[in-house]
């Protein structure tokens, strides 16, 4: 475990949460540093205004994040890297979701509560990088089905990729491992992109011409979905590769 990793994890979250926003499609309403007007009211135990949100300081935001997100996912008791995966997921989608994604990565019951079983599995994990990547994939699967994906999806996808790369760097402290994961992600992107082009929908469709019309439309529907999934996966692997390479540059700079 790493009881001194909170500040680094908070810095990562703040990089993505940014300053004051009040997006009409964001159900959280007025938000600053990722803290919604509702969360601020709960923390202060009184009604708050948009101006209160605008005046929020980083120091207070950090206290809110520790109490409402870091402590529930037992951040001080998780190994370095796994703490960030659960924490960033918790901030983005709630502590229960953050916990569930980590639990899916660990292969334990995903009940949304970090208890002795989850902590034990986290501390005994032999393949921390694999846990981080599986948790990140579970998070992406959830985000893609949200109704607000069309509005926020690209930013979420970049954030998940960046969180994965940052978590792997924290866990391994190894530029060589980060480079290896960048290469794997780039290869996976190329493989999925090739698969998308190779489907009859993506690359021609000559084999479908002799099918009855009803069957043709059914097959086209299935193939279109498959092509889309492959293309989406190719794009996300490309984002992962870019995030790993950016982290590698940061680790080797100077």
Per-residue pLDDT of the chain (254 residues; tens, 9 = 90+): 446 899 999 999 999 998 998 887 777 789 999 999 999 999 999 999 999 999 999 999 999 999 999 999 999 999 999 999 999 999 999 999 999 999 999 999 999 999 999 999 999 999 999 999 999 999 999 999 998 888 889 999 999 999 999 999 999 999 999 999 999 999 999 997 887 676 654 454 555 455 455 454 454 555 565 776 777 788 999 999 999 999 999 999 85
Residue with token string 């989406």: 232
Structure tokens that stand for 91 in this block: 């901030």
* R_g of the chain computed on alpha carbons: 21
pTM: 0.85
């Amino acid at each position: 475990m790493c009881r001194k990793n909170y500040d680094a994890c908070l810095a990562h979250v703040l990089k993505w949460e940014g300053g004051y926003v009040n997006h009409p499609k964001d159900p959280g309403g007025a938000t600053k540093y990722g803290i919604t007007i509702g969360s601020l009211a709960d923390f202060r135990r009184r009604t708050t205004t948009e101006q209160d949100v605008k005046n929020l300081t980083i120091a207070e935001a950090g206290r809110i994040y520790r109490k409402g997100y870091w402590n529930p996912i037992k951040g001080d008791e998780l190994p370095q890297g796994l703490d960030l995966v659960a924490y960033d997921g918790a901030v983005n989608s709630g502590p229960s979701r953050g916990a569930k994604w980590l639990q899916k990565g660990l292969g334990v019951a995903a009940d949304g509560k970090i208890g002795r079983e989850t902590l034990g599995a986290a501390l005994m994990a032999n393949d921390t990088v694999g846990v981080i990547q599986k948790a990140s994939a579970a998070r992406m699967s959830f985000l893609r089905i949200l109704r607000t994906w069309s509005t926020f999806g690209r930013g979420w996808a970049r954030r998940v990729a960046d969180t994965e790369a940052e978590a792997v760097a924290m866990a391994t402290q190894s530029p060589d491992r980060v480079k290896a994961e960048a290469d794997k992600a780039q290869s996976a992107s190329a493989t999925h992109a090739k698969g998308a082009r190779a489907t009859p929908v993506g690359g021609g469709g000559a084999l479908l011409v002799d099918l009855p019309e009803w069957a043709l439309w059914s097959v086209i529907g299935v193939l279109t979905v498959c092509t889309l999934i492959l293309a989406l996966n190719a794009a996300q692997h490309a984002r992962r590769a870019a995030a790993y390479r950016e982290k590698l540059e940061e680790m080797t700079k100077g």
